[in-house]
Amino acid sequence: MMIRAALLLVLALIPPALPASAQPPGVSDKEILIGGSNSFSGPLAFTGEQITKFGVDLYFKVVNDAGGIHGRTIRTIFYDDGYRPQDAVANTKKLVEQDKIFAVIIPQGSPPVMATLAYLEENKVPLLFPYQSSPETRRKRYVFQGMTVSDRSSKMMIDYLAGQRKLKKFAALYQDDEYGKSFLTAFEKDLGRFGLKLVAAESVKRGVTDVSAQIAKLHAAKPEVTFLVLVPGPGAQALIERQKIGWTDTLMVSTGPLTDERYLALAGDAAEGVEGLSLWPDPLLSDLAGVKRYREHMQKYFPKNGPNRYSIAGYFAAMLFTEGAKRAGRNLTRESLIAALESIKGYESGILPPLTIDADHETQKRGLWVRVEKGRFKPLTDWLKSE
């Protein structure tokens, strides 16, 4: 008796078969639903919130207020993974299977993104513009990489410093993880093209901020250029330590992911004269049309939130999605979106240089050289190339 009751209960829980619909998951007559797993707690919580709520959602507010894309408004769902891969997997499965999103947009961090990569490919869900720098996302049909990947950054940095500026002695202070190591490998390879080698390389464990021993060792190797492949905390500490021991005859250079305002603020006057590869124009001061519009939109919708390069990254991702969905037309499917994104050639965003998406599916391949002057990044070059 009890068993039969239990069976009936189980049967009652089985959802009735749904009628087959012509539209893909996440797309209805009125709406497009996209989303992603991101960091709202954990080490990258600030970045995650800026990218999503103040970046992606900011741009979609603008689009929706102007009538949406081909009559559909865009709605987003973001779940917190706290930078834990297993939570990213759970969130992504929930987004795809329960919420039935159309595509994943700008998830953050190599481990969480890598954990979901195979699943998304298997289920043919577009993974759009992940905010991480590992080149493993390259040339995958359903993936369009966001942030400039490490080997491209390295190429731009070495070509500029060893090629144009004829510098010869390079050293690196790198974070002892995949971010640091992938840059180190790329530096060695690119220096090799100029017949050069790193004269010294010192590692910093993740989460450690005291870098005095490493700076002393690098100082002894007398490099002309010292690359900082770090995150803002230890990056700023390296500059302060360098100033403390009076080491002036080296050029400190930050990588793309490090060249941000937080690193500058933490280093204070120790950052003066430091150079780096910047992946974005200055979000606060640039007078590029797209960046100005971004600041106006931020002022209009989130007047309390200052412009920064994380929210502009999310804003740009949403802009690129919108461009793809517009090109795909009213008959929006996952395949038509991919075809539409692949058709983007010489697209003017007003933020980054004209954008062309090739078979490698990378959407950001360029950076510009900056030097810190009076506490701001001043551009020294036009956009560098990594082809």
Cβ closest to other proteins, residue 80 vs residue 151 = 80
Minimum CB separation from other proteins for residue 48, in Å? 8
Q: Which stretch binds other proteins (CB under 8 A): 81-89, 147-155, 237-245, 379-387?
A: 81-89
Q: How many residues bind other proteins (CB under 8 A)?
A: 51
Footprint of other proteins on 83-102 (CB under 8 A): 83-87, 89-91, 93-94, 97-98
State the Cα–Cα distance between residues 284 and 261, nearest whole angstrom. Answer: 10
Give whichever of 79 and 369 is closer to other proteins, judged by the CB atom: 79
* Strand-pair partners of 368: 278, 383
* Beta carbon of residue 209, minimum distance to other proteins (angstroms, whole number): 16
Closest CB to other proteins among residues 185, 299? 185
18 contributes a contact to other proteins by CB under 8 A: no
Q: How far apart are CA 189 and CA 192, in angstroms?
A: 5
Which string of x and - marks every residue 253-272 that binds other proteins (by CB under 8 A)?
--------------------
20 binds other proteins (CB under 8 A): no
Main-chain phi, psi angles of 132, to 5 degrees: -160, 160
On the CB side of 325, CA atoms within 13 Å amount to 25
User: Does the protein bind other proteins through residue 119 (CB under 8 A)?
Assistant: yes
**Nearest CA to 237 among 204, 260, 193, 281?**
204
**For residues 88 and 161, which CB has a smaller minimum distance to other proteins in the complex?**
88
Determine if 185 is a binding residue for other proteins (CB under 8 A): no
* Residue 78 binding other proteins, by CB under 8 A: yes
- Which residues does residue 253 pair with via DSSP β-bridges, in sequence order? 227, 275
Residue with Cβ nearer other proteins (77 or 288):
77
Q: What ranges make up the beta strands (E) of the chain?
A: 31-38, 73-80, 104-105, 127-128, 143-144, 170-175, 198-204, 225-229, 251-254, 275-278, 367-373, 376-384
Q: Of residues 10, 17, 66, 220, which one binds other proteins by CB under 8 A?
A: 10
Near other proteins by CB under 8 A: residue from 49, 202, 260, 275: 49
Query: In this chain, which of 15, 16, 19, 246 binds other proteins, going by CB under 8 A?
Result: 15
State the DSSP string of 263-290: HHHHHGGGGTT-EEEESS--TTT---HH
* 150 contributes a contact to other proteins by CB under 8 A: no
Distances (CA, A) of 123 to 101, 129, 333: 12, 18, 14
Q: Taking the complex as a whole, how short is the minimal distance between the CB of residue 6 and other proteins, in angstroms?
A: 4
In the region spanning residues 25 to 44, those forming contacts with other proteins, defined by CB under 8 A, are 37, 40-42
The two tokens of residue 338 are 């991919």
**Applying CB under 8 A, does 131 fall inside the site for other proteins?**
no
220 binds other proteins (CB under 8 A): no
Q: Please tell me whether residue 206 adopts helix, strand or coil conformation.
A: coil
Torsion of CA 260, 265, 267, 271, to 10 degrees: 70
Cβ atoms of 139 and 360 within 8 Å: the answer is: yes
Residue-level length of the chain: 387
Q: For residue 111, state whether it binds other proteins (rule: CB under 8 A).
A: yes
Q: Answer for the pair 165, 380: CB distance below 8 angstroms, yes or no.
A: no
Told to check if 208 binds other proteins by CB under 8 A, we report no
Min separation Cβ 233 and other proteins, Å: 17
Nearest Cα residue to 188 out of 207, 208, 170: 170
Contacts with other proteins by CB under 8 A lie at: 2-3, 5-7, 9-11, 13-15, 37, 40-42, 45, 49, 53, 77-87, 89-91, 93-94, 97-98, 110-112, 114-116, 118-119, 134, 176-179, 205-206
